[in-house]
Amino acid sequence: MSRRFITIVLVAAGISIFVFLWRGSLATSVLFLMAKRNLAANLMTALPDGLHLALCGAGAPLPDPQRSGPCVAVIAGKSIFVVDAGTGGARNLVRLQVPIGSIAAVLLGLAS
């Protein structure tokens, strides 16, 4: 085998060992970087002025813990209104880059 190949294998092994030994710290650092980036994102800056709807949950006839409950976000100008916020709605709003701290009102329907 050539020296170059052996050097590449040794460097790759060293990097692998480093990553394995520091995996907890690396994972935490990546988590904080991604959370900071995702929480700083704001869908409102990219939208033109007008009325917009975001489906942040669809629901289902039968309860299912794997699905989000019904949820619709109405974006009117700079105001955000959430209609019928079901389970998982807030999580999906964050994924959609809707700033949940800027929600003006949450409208809930009453079951009869």
In a domain, 75, yes or no: yes
Question: Token pair of 34, please?
Answer: 């991604």
Per-residue confidence (pLDDT) for residue 112, from 0 to 100: 57
Q: Which residues, at least 6 apart from 12, have a Cβ–Cβ distance to it below 8 Å?
A: none
Per-residue confidence (pLDDT) for residue 1, from 0 to 100: 67
Residues 8 and 22 in one domain: yes
Q: Tell me the residue range of the domain where 32 lies.
A: 3-40
Instruction: Give percent of the chain with pLDDT exceeding 90.
Output: 26
Residues 25 and 67 in one domain: no
In a domain, 112, yes or no: no
